[in-house]
Structure 1
C-alpha cells in the first residue's frame, strides 16, 4: 500500500509541476463550459412524437393526417393518461406529445374555436422549439384550409407546454454534453500521454522491474487523473449552478457516482491506447481525433442521433459518452433516479470491464 501511495504521490507532483498539463485539466473545462453554455446553438430535422387522440373524430383525424404527411416527424399513437405521458417523457422515448381533447370537432362546429395541447421535452431547447414551431405551422395550415369557404372562420389554438426547461434556457442542453466531452478528452488523453511518456523517457523499464506489481504501476499512474477529473466535475457543476443558473434536480451523490464510473471507463480506454502506442504525439492524436469527433457526433450532444442513418445509430451505441450524456441529462434536468438509469449504467460498466480486460490482456511487463 505504501508503494502504491508513493507512485500516486509521484504522479501528482508531475501533474502539479507541469503548467501545460494544468491548463488542459482545468483551463479547457472552464473555457468550454462557458463558451458552450452561452454561445452554441444547433438545429434538428425531425423527432419522435406521440399522439394522444381523445376525440377520435373527423377533425382530429384530418390533423393527424397532416402531421403524418410531414417528413419532420415519426408518429406513434396511444391512449395514455397524463401520468403515463410523463413517464414516457422521463424514459426519453419521445420528444413531444400532441394531445387532442374530447369533443374537438364539436367545439369547432359550435363555438368556432378548439384547443390542441403540444407538450415538448425542453431538455434540448433547440429540438423543442423546432418541434413546436413545425407542429404549430401544420395546425395553422389545416386551419387555413378549412376556413377557405367559411364566413366565420374556425380557430384552433395550440396550448404549448415545455417540460423540464420552461424558461427555454440554452444551458440545460449543453452542460451535460460538455461534461461528457471534457471528461472523455481529459481522462483518455492525459492517461495515455502519461504512460507513454514513461516509455519515451525510459523510466517505464525502471518501474516495471521494481518490487511493485507492473499492473498496479499502470493503475497508480491513472489514479490521479480520476481525482482530478472528479474535481473537474465539481467545477462544472458549480459553474452550472452559480453562473448558468442550472441547478441539479436529481441526486448529486448519484451524479458523482455515475461520473466516477464514466471516468474509470475513459481511464481504461486511455490505458489501452497507451499500451498500443509508443509516442506521446501518436497517443495525443488518437486521443483527440479518436475521442473528440465520436463524442461530438455520436453522443447526441450536438446532433440528434435519431436523425442519423441506421448504421450510424448502431455505431453511436459503442460510444461511452452517449450513455453518460443520457445519464447526466436525466439526473440534472429531469431529476430521475437510479431506477430509470440502470440500463445505461450497466452498459457503461460493461464497457469498463471490457476495456480493462483487453488492456490487461495486451499489457506486457517487458517493453521489448
Structure 2
C-alpha cells in the first residue's frame, strides 16, 4: 500500500497540464506564426500534433479526442502586427474538462506574452497581440460537466465490482454455497441470480444521477439518452463481471473488499481521467490506464452527455468494454467451474 500510494501520488497525480495535444490552424504561414508554433511545440505544456487547414476541422478533432486546444492564426498575422501595431490570435479549447481547458488557455496566453515581450523588449511602440479565447461544449466552464460523468463512473465501479464480489464470497464463508451447488439450480444460474440485483441497483443509480444532473445541476443531456443508457448497462456488466472474477479468486469477504477498494477504486479514480489528465502521467502509467475500464466509460459518458456524439465516435471505447466484459466473465466462469469439481 505505501509503495502504491507513493508511486501513484508521486508520478501520476498532478494539477499541472503537460504534453497536451494541440492543433495549429495557420492561415498566415509567415515567419512569426512559424516561430510561435515552434514555441508551443517546444514548451513542456503542449505538443503540436496536428496542423489544420480549416475551422470546420476543429470540432471534428475535439469529437475524436485528438486535441484539447487549437491555436488559430488569422491571415496576414505578421503584416497586421507590423503595420497596424496589433494582431489577433484565437485559442479554442475543449471545455469538456473545464479546469484543464482553462489552465491550457492561461499557459498559451503566457507563451504569447513572453513572445511579445521578447520581440519588442523595452520599445515603447504600441505593438500588441490580442488573444481571444473560446470554449467549446462548456462556455461557462461549469464543473458539473466534468463532475457528473466522473461520479457516475466511480459509483458504478464501486457498486458493481465490490458488492458483487462480496455477496458471492459471503456464501462461501457461511458454507451455503455448497447447498446452492448441490441444488437443481445450475452453477451459471447461481452466478446470474447473484448479479441481477446489483445490475438493477446500478441502473437505478444511473437514472438518479441523470435526473439530478439535469434538474439540479442544469447539465444538458446533448446526446442520445437511449445510447447513454445502453452504454451504462454495458459498463455495469463489465463491473459485475469483474466482481464475479474477484469473488472466484478469494475466499474471504475482507479480502474481496480490500481488492475492490484498494486494488480497483484507486486505479479507477486516478486512471479514468476524471480528476487528473492522463497525458500528465509517465508513459508506463498511460499504458496501464488502457487496462482500466473506467477510462473508457468516462470517455463514453463525456462524449455523449457533453459533446452530444453518437456511436460513430465511441465505437472503439464500446468494443473495448465488450472485450473486457467477455474476458472477465470467461475467466470468472472458468474459475467457478474449477471450484465445483
What TM-score, normalized to structure 1?
0.86
Is 1:204 equivalent to 2:177 in the alignment? Answer: yes
Is 1:160 equivalent to 2:133 in the alignment? Answer: yes
Aligned CA distance change for structure 1 residues 88 and 279 (closer, same or farther; 3 Å) = same
1:286-345 Cα offsets, whole Å, 9 max, x none, are: 111111111011111112111111111111111011100000000010000011111100
Alpha-carbon distance in structure 2 between the residues aligned to 1:79 and 1:287: 44
Residue of 231, 237, 242 corresponding to 1:264: 237
Q: Tell whether the 8 Å contact from 2:19 to 2:280 is kept in structure 1 after alignment.
A: yes
Corresponding residue for 2:206? 233
Q: Bigger shift: 216-225 or 63-72?
A: 63-72
Residue of 107, 124, 135 corresponding to 2:108: 135
Corresponding residue for 2:221? 248
Corresponding residue for 1:312? 285
Question: Any idea what SS the aligned residue of 1:159 has?
Answer: strand
Alpha-carbon distance in structure 2 between the residues aligned to 1:42 and 1:196: 39
> How far is the alpha carbon of 1:353 from its aligned partner?
0.6
Superposition map of 1:15-30 within 5 A: none
Is 1:342 equivalent to 2:315 in the alignment? Answer: yes
Alpha-carbon distance in structure 1 between the residues aligned to 2:339 and 2:149: 41
In structure 1, the gaps of 5 or more residues are: 1-40
Question: Any idea what SS the aligned residue of 2:197 has?
Answer: helix
Q: Bigger shift: 41-50 or 265-274?
A: 41-50
Alpha-carbon distance in structure 1 between the residues aligned to 2:50 and 2:173: 61
Alpha-carbon distance in structure 1 between the residues aligned to 2:269 and 2:28: 42
Alpha-carbon distance in structure 1 between the residues aligned to 2:50 and 2:192: 51
What TM-score, normalized to structure 2?
0.93
Corresponding residue for 2:17? 44
Q: Tell whether the 8 Å contact from 1:208 to 1:365 is kept in structure 2 after alignment.
A: no
Alpha-carbon distance in structure 1 between the residues aligned to 2:47 and 2:136: 20
Alpha-carbon distance in structure 2 between the residues aligned to 1:269 and 1:148: 60
Alpha-carbon distance in structure 1 between the residues aligned to 2:176 and 2:70: 60
Q: Tell whether the 8 Å contact from 1:316 to 1:322 is kept in structure 2 after alignment.
A: yes
Is 1:124 equivalent to 2:102 in the alignment? Answer: no
Q: Tell whether the 8 Å contact from 1:54 to 1:79 is kept in structure 2 after alignment.
A: no
1:26-67 Cα offsets, whole Å, 9 max, x none, are: xxxxxxxxxxxxxxx955334111111111112212222322
Aligned CA distance change for structure 1 residues 325 and 357 (closer, same or farther; 3 Å) = same
Q: Bigger shift: 59-68 or 282-291?
A: 59-68
Corresponding residue for 1:213? 186
Alpha-carbon distance in structure 2 between the residues aligned to 1:200 and 1:70: 57
Q: Tell whether the 8 Å contact from 1:248 to 1:335 is kept in structure 2 after alignment.
A: yes
Question: Any idea what SS the aligned residue of 1:276 has?
Answer: coil
Alpha-carbon distance in structure 2 between the residues aligned to 1:356 and 1:281: 22
Alpha-carbon distance in structure 2 between the residues aligned to 1:279 and 1:148: 69
Question: Any idea what SS the aligned residue of 2:306 has?
Answer: helix
Alpha-carbon distance in structure 1 between the residues aligned to 2:16 and 2:165: 35
In structure 2, the gaps of 5 or more residues are: 1-13
Q: Tell whether the 8 Å contact from 1:214 to 1:365 is kept in structure 2 after alignment.
A: no
Residue of 354, 357, 363 corresponding to 2:327: 354
Residue of 150, 155, 158 corresponding to 1:185: 158
Between the two proteins, the alignment pairs up a number of residues equal to: 328
